[in-house]
Structures are given as C-alpha cells and as structure tokens.
Structure 1
C-alpha cells in the first residue's frame, strides 16, 4: 500500500502485522508505503468506503469548530487590546478601530505573528501587537524607514525605532484615561 492515505495507514497498523517500507535518501529517510497481508488490505479498503461519508461529515464539523474557536480567540484578543489601550471615552471609536485591526492582523493562524505564540501570556502578546500596530500606523516609522531605504543596518535603524517607541508612548499617554495604571 503506498504512503499518503492516513486512514488506511492507521487501519493497517491497527489490524495486524505490517512492515513499513523505507528508502534512505541523502538527508532523510523517505516512507514509501506499508506492506501487509492482502486480507488486511481488503478489510481496510472496505471500511474506508463504508465510513467515507461519516468521516467527511466529521471533518466538516471539526473545521466549523476550529473556525468558532479561532473567532473566539480573535474576539478575546480584541477585548484584551481594548483593556490595554484604556482610552478615554472620547477616543473610544479610535480604540475599537485599533483593537479590531490589531486583532485581525496579529491572530492569523500559522502566520508566525506575536498573537499566535504560545510562549507569552495574552497580556504580553497584546502589548507587543498593539505597540507594533501603533508604530506602523500612527507614527513616522514607516515613512522614515522608507525614506532611508531597506535594509538598514542596526546602527541606522535603532534611532528610528527609538523615536517610534517614544511616539507610541506619547500616542498612548495622550489618549488614555487620566488614572490609567497600565504601562507600556
């Protein structure tokens, strides 16, 4: 049986004796398939046909559940962004826009963005994502980096990042509630 069908592979391995056929390559070992008795393979093929519709429905249900989970995570991230921003009521619409845009960008699955890492707690992910969003959208960072051209070496880029960080701090300070205890 050739490699590539997860259901058949699982079933063959579960049902009895089998041998995995491997081929050594230069840097890895390739799995070519599984050798097994013909009776086992016939039984697996029959079960595959009999359960195909049920497995398809289960995959669709699982996909819908994953989408609901992702939407829930995005909403939780957006709410955490609003808590971090803690803007005065007159800037509420700006805060909602920033939170929505930040959550939409930072939480894309398999993007490698900060909103997806499991290494940081949610509050830290939110702080980093919001500050990055503000740096790129509400400061002169993009314009300065573009004006100087890419790629910049560390020495030339660092002052631009520092200035952008100060601009983000000022942006947050000027819009937050007066008694805000959140830092960042």
Structure 2
C-alpha cells in the first residue's frame, strides 16, 4: 500500500504499526531515511508516497525517519548534494541563517519585554523585574526548547504569563519533588493551585510591598541562579 501515512515503529524488521495498531510490512524497495537532514526530508515528502515514522514517549513525539523508495531517496540525495556544492547555495544558506538569527534576536527582545509587562513590578523592583525577565526568557526562548514561549497558537502576552508561571512553579515551589497521584486531572489541579501561589507571590512585588528577602521564595531562587 504505497501511500503517504503516519506510522509507529515496530520491533519486527521492516515492519511498522499504523496509528490504529495494525502491523504493516514495508514495501519492497523502500528504505528508511533517518531524521537529521531537514532539506532532504522535505523533498522526500513532497516527491511522492512515503511513510512518516513517529514514536510517542510520554507527552513527547519523536521523529524516527521516513520510509520511501530507496531509488527516490538516492536520487534526491544526489541532487541535493550537487546543489549544496554550488557556491550560490552556500551564500543563500548563510543569508537565510543570518535572517533567522535577526528574527530570533528580535523575538527574544519582544518576549522579554512581554515578560516585564506581565510582571508589572512596582518601580522599586524595576531592576529585579528585568533580571527575572532575563532568567525566564533565556530559559524559555531558545529554539527547540519546547516551552510555551515557542508556540504561535496563543498571543505573546499569554506566552509570557504561562512562561512566568511555569518558571516560578519549578523554581519557587516544591513541584519538582511532589508525589502527584496518577489520576486524571490531578497534575492539572496541583498546577492550578501552585499558579495561584505564584500570583500571590508576584502581587507583593507589583504593589511595592517591602519583601522579607530572607524568606521570600523568589529571592531564594534568584540567589540560586547566581551560583
């Protein structure tokens, strides 16, 4: 059945599982293109029938390659190698990388400003807000980090709020060491409760209240980050 489908790995050589759980034999003459060459993978997908292999582990989904006709993979690989050997390709690639770097730098600055806006600290704590925004932004914005800061599905203001609450959850609460029952909704409820605690923590800085730096979880987290 040479068509374009998504499949799951199988321990049986040259076999895969469909998303419905059915075992399929890989068509004769096909080979597995490992993940790693994004340009070649895109061309394989655009050129004809192929099977995309994905594996889910926990909440994450990993690419395990693409099954496609071996002759087609080899032909497209050779064409791509020839193209890459052309100096014009190198110049184009460098220009593309420079453009992405500029875009990424601009996004990081925009995101850190969104963090500062969300924090909304009293002028007394302005420097602390900038420092906290740097810490959260440096953690959340790198490409491939998989954090909420990288999604485009929600406005940047919501991304900043979610990233702040997530950082505070891990840095100022006992969340990482909690034993949470494996029950539906249990983890969500714990996160909701801790989010409220984090917002209460931020309220003091927003109001300009004098903070007990010896016992403030945020101050302790900032001290830890300096080490």
TM over 0.5, yes or no? yes
Structure 1 distance, partners of 2:119, 2:83, is 54
Q: CA RMSD in A?
A: 3.9
Q: CA deviation at 1:71?
A: 1.1
Q: Which structure would you say has the larger RCO, counting Cα contacts within 8 Å and 6 or more residues apart? A: 1
With normalisation by structure 1, the TM-score equals: 0.64
Which segments of structure 1 move beyond 3 Å, counting only runs of 4 or more? Answer: 3-7, 20-24, 48-51, 154-163
For 2:141 and 2:158, locate their aligned partners in 1 and report how far apart those are by CA, in whole Å: 14
Could you say if the C-alpha distance between residues 49 and 55 of structure 1 is closer, same or farther in structure 2, counting changes exceeding 3 Å?
A: closer
Question: 1:50–1:116: structure 2 CA closer, same or farther, 3 Å change rule?
Answer: closer
CA contact (8 A) 1:141 1:160 kept: no
Q: Normalising by the residue count of structure 2, what TM-score does the alignment of the two structures yield?
A: 0.53
Q: Which is helix-richer, 1 or 2?
A: 1
Which residue number in structure 1 is paired with residue 69 of structure 2?
31
Contact 1:85 1:172 in 2 (8 A): yes
After TM superposition, list the pairs within 5 Å mapping 1:115-130 onto structure 2.
Answer: 115-130=149-164
Q: Tell me, which stretches of 5 or more residues in structure 1 are unaligned?
A: 11-19, 35-40, 179-184
Whether 2:148 is the aligned partner of 1:110: answer no
* Structure-2 separation of matches of 1:131 and 1:33: 50
- Give the superposition deviation at 1:136: 1.8
Work out the number of aligned pairs and report it: 151
SS in 2 for 1:30: strand
Q: 172, 176, 179: which one pairs with 2:202?
A: 172
Q: Deviations over 1:98-128 (max 9, x none)?
A: 1111112222223321011111111111111
Match of 1:153 in 2: 182
1:128-143 matches, within 5 Å, as 128-137=162-171, 139-142=172-175
- TM-aligned CA deviation for residue 165 of structure 1: 2.2
1:158 Cα deviation (Å)? 6.2
Q: Does 1:69 align with 2:103?
A: yes
Name 1:181's counterpart in structure 2.
none
Greater Cα radius of gyration, structure 1 or 2? 1
